[in-house]
Amino acid sequence: MKAALAVLLSALLCVQNAYAMPAKEYIVYEDTAELQENTEEVQEDTQQGTENTENSDTAAEESRETVSEDTGGTEGEAADTQTAGPEVSAPSAILMEASTGEVIFEKDADTARPPASVTKIMTMLLIFDALADGKIKLEDQVTTSEFAASMGGSQVFLEPGETQTVDTMLKCISVASANDACVAMAEYISGNEEEFVKQMNERAKGLGMENTHFVNCNGLDVDGHVTTARDIALMSREMITKYPQIHDYCMIWMENITHTTKKGTTEFGLTNTNKLVRQYEYATGLKTGSTGLAKFCVSATAKKNDIEMIAVIMAAEDSKARFKDATTLLNYGFGKCQVYKDEKQEKLKDIKVKGGVKETVPCEYAGSFSYLDTSGANMAGITKKLKIKKSLDAPVKKGDKAGSLVYELDGKEIGKVDVIVSQNVKKAGFLDYLKKVVSRFRT
């Protein structure tokens, strides 16, 4: 009996030591087109830092219409800075590629200026957030308050007590730039406009919009209501990448809504304030704005050959100039840029866990990968290298880094995506080791 117990304890110690050995080795898989499991093993003691680098053409007719929307703010001051690129007449502008967030061109992009109705991008972003969170539904009926109905400037003439669906309100905001619909939605989501504006500023802070301060939800003229071309690009990118369904609204050219009030039923026509929707072949949105203080602004989005651009123009002299500048930037971007997107990241194998209650743990990629090139490089030369640990030491937490998928172009690293653990694995205790020993003796 003692001999058997000694053998059992000896086996237990061997198993425990085997499972407790530190995991430091990596396996490297290399490929050109698709990852081919093979060959090279390397030992490393240092962890790689977390890094997820996400890393022409017809011009539109210039608009002959001047669009006037009520919005406002106060102009700030900043150094006049411009990167190499096309000439734009507006004092502030920026061109950003949507999938990577890389800036292709900028001109005085950090000067705080009144954004006019471009403010409504943030208002619509919060509406879509509320929809995504299940707080509201598109078919919900929204009642217009006296305050909402009193808004001046661009509006759809909602009357106090009138109800419209969230879906219709979104059309009124995105197409007709309706100030009254903005306030009605702000009150519906947050109880009052003041609370909604707090959420707007919190959302802006979360997006890294460092030079933005909202005072209202529609951009009507008021002191201190300012943002920058860069910050507008950031919130525009969040909108179109997180909620691409916004294009279903902002690409509407004309549509009627129905007013139903105590006075009866009437039709009201919405016409899009963004003339690029009709005049620029690749246009996908997004929002215009103008007032005496803000002059003429636009955040113009467009997509061509799977490349999506965001061109922001602020304080243009007239409507025609803002659309011309936006078109110039978009054409410049499409002519200069190419984007690589890894749409088929290979399936990952489970990784061994040492000293854990489970022997393996599944892994996943922390995100997708895209790379923007502006030099005309041959993107077919991009190679991938999967560098992943041979094993992990317990305990393992969901989200722990287990390796990375590295992308290289012409032998130079252009970015990587982390490989992370998708489950928790607790550290094994004495009883867990005992169970493993017993199960081995049984088999």
Q: Where are the domains of the chain?
A: 18-54+344-442, 92-338
Binding site per annotation, positions for substrate: 287
Token digits for 172? 């009124």
Bridge partners of 43, per DSSP, are: 25
Contacts of 84 (CB under 8 A, 6+ apart): none
Into which CATH architecture does domain 18-54+344-442 fall?
Sandwich (2.60)
pLDDT of residue 17: 45
Residue indicated by tokens 């209501």: 225
Q: Which residues are catalytic?
A: 117, 120, 177
pLDDT of residue 441: 64
Map residue 93 onto helix, strand or coil: strand
Binding site per annotation, positions: 287
CA-based nearest residue to 309, from 253, 250, 236, 379: 236
The amino acid present at 314, given as its one-letter code, is M
Contacts of 162 (CB under 8 A, 6+ apart): 143, 144, 149, 259, 260, 261
DSSP 68: -
Contacts of 33 (CB under 8 A, 6+ apart): none
CA-based nearest residue to 54, from 374, 419, 383, 415: 415
Residue-by-residue pLDDT tens, the chain, 443 positions: 545 544 454 544 444 444 444 444 556 655 433 333 332 332 233 333 333 333 333 333 333 333 334 333 333 433 456 777 899 999 999 999 999 999 999 999 999 999 999 999 999 999 999 999 999 999 999 999 999 999 989 999 999 999 999 999 999 999 999 999 999 999 999 999 999 999 999 999 999 999 999 999 999 999 999 999 999 999 999 999 999 999 999 999 999 999 998 889 999 999 999 999 999 999 999 999 999 999 999 999 999 998 999 999 999 999 999 999 999 999 999 999 998 989 888 899 999 999 888 889 999 999 999 898 988 899 999 999 999 999 999 999 999 999 999 999 999 999 999 999 999 999 877 665 566 665 666 66
CATH 3.30.310.50 fits 92-338, yes or no: no
